[in-house]
Amino acid sequence: VTTLEIVRIEAFIYSNRGFPGRPPQDRTAIARAFVAKMIYNLPTTRALLDRLETDIALRRICGWERKNDVPDEWTFSRAFAEFSESRLPERVHEAFIKKSYEGELVGHNSRDATAIEAREKPLKKESVEKVALKRGRPKQGEKRVKPLTRIEKQTGGMSLPDMLDDLPKACDVGTKKNSKGYKVSWTGYKLHFDVADGGIPISVILTSASTHDSQVAIPLAKMSSERVINLYDVMDSAYDVPQIHEISRQLGHVPLIDVNPRRDQALKKEITAENKRCHLVGHKTAKAIRYNERSTVERVNARLKDEFGGRVVRVRGHAKVMCHLMFGVLALTANQILILAT
C-alpha cells in the first residue's frame, strides 16, 4: 500500500476524455496491479490474476471491489502494450527521482551494467560490404578520414535523444567475463544503471547485449545530470575512456574510474608494484576502496533480478522488455527509499 501511494502511478496515465470510441478499461487499476506484480515478484500475468482472485486486500488496493471486476488476461496484455508505447513506468520513475532529490546533493553516482536474458531469437546481423581502403602510406598532402566511433559522435554535440536513438536496441548475443574470469554468453539485452548512495536507481537505459558499457556512459551521465546533482562518478575499468573523463568534468563531477592498462605492459607492472607496496604496509588499494563504493550498483542489479522480476522476462521486443524492467525498477526505488526513511 505504501509503495503504491508513494509512486502515484495513476497521475501519469493519459486520460481518454474527449476521444471517440470505447474507453479503455481500468487502466489505472491495471497499472497499479503491474507495480504490485513486481513487489510480490510474480513471474507471469496469470500468476497476478490468480493472486488478485484470492487476495481481497490487494484487489481493493488496485481498485477492484469484486472478482468479476478484474479484467481478463488479454486486457492486461493490451494495457501493457499501451504502457510500453507511452513509456509509462519510465516517466513515473523520472518524476519520482526528480521530486525525491529536489534540493538534495548526491555523493557518489555508481555506474554499471547487467545482463538481461530474453526469450526471443537474436537478430541476424546483416553482412555489410566493407569499402576497400587504399593500401600503403598516404601520398604527400593526402588526408584519410577515419570514421567516427560512437563515443566520438556523442562528444561531437549530439543531443540526449539522438544519443539514445543511436544506441543499438535489438536482441542479440552478449559475452562478458564473470567474477572468476570465465567467459559467459547470453541472448537478450543489457541494462545500464546509474545508482545513487543508498542503492537508489537514478537512470536506466536498455541496449542490445553486445553493446559495450562505455558507449552508454555519456548518455547515462547526461540523463542523470538532469535529475540529480552529484559529486563523484564511480565506474570500473570498462569506462576508462578519455571522453568519459572529460564529460564527467564538464558536468562538474569528479570521475573515479579504475585504470585500464590495456596493452601497456609498463603500466601493468606499475599497478602490480603499487598493489604489492600497499599490501606490505597494510593499506587498502584505491581500486579496492572504489570497488566497495561501486558495489552499490551490484546490489541493485541483484535485488532487481531476485526480488523485483528482473530475472524472468516473458515479453519480447525492446519497448516491452524495458517496460517490464522499469516496473521492477520503480518498485525497487520506492522500496529502497522506504527502507532508508525508516
Average pLDDT over residues 20-28: 67
If you average pLDDT over residues 53-64, what whole number do you get? 91
How does pLDDT run across 257-295, given as a tens digit for each residue? 988 888 888 988 988 898 888 888 888 888 888 888 888
List of E strands, the chain: 105-117, 172-177, 183-196, 200-208, 229-235, 254-257
Nearest to 293 by CA among 304, 303, 284, 305: 284
Enter the pTM of the model. 0.90
The rounded distance, in Å, linking the Cα atoms of 187 and 115 is 9
Residues 14-42: what's their mean pLDDT?
78
Question: What are the residues whose beta carbons fall under 8 Å from the beta carbon of 237, sequence distance 6 or more?
Answer: 257, 258, 259, 260
Q: State the residue for C-alpha cell 546533493.
A: 105
Residue 321: exposure state from Cβ atoms within 10 A (0-12, 13-18, ≥19): buried
Q: DSSP letters of 215-260? A: HHHHHHHHHHHTT-EEEEEEE-GGG--HHHHHHHHHTT-EEEE---
Q: Whose grid coordinates read 489505472? A: 28
Q: With bands split at pLDDT 50, 70 and 90, how would you rate the model's confidence at 325?
A: very high
Lowest-confidence region among 15-19, 131-135, 165-169, 208-212:
15-19
CA distance 66 to 68: 5
The domains of the chain are located at: 2-86, 106-123+142-317
The reported pLDDT for the residue numbered 53 is 92
pLDDT tens column, 132-190: 777 788 788 778 778 888 999 999 888 999 999 999 999 999 998 887 888 999 999 99
On whether the CB atoms of residues 116 and 206 are closer than 8 A, the answer is yes
- For the cut 60, the answer to whether the pLDDT of residue 100 exceeds it is yes
- pLDDT mean across residues, the chain: 89
Q: What is the pLDDT of residue 20?
A: 57
Three-class SS of residue 313? coil
Tell me: the pLDDT tens digits for 101-143? Answer: 998 999 999 999 999 999 999 888 777 677 777 778 878 877 8
Residue 254: partners with Cβ closer than 8 Å, 6 or more residues away: 231, 232, 233, 248
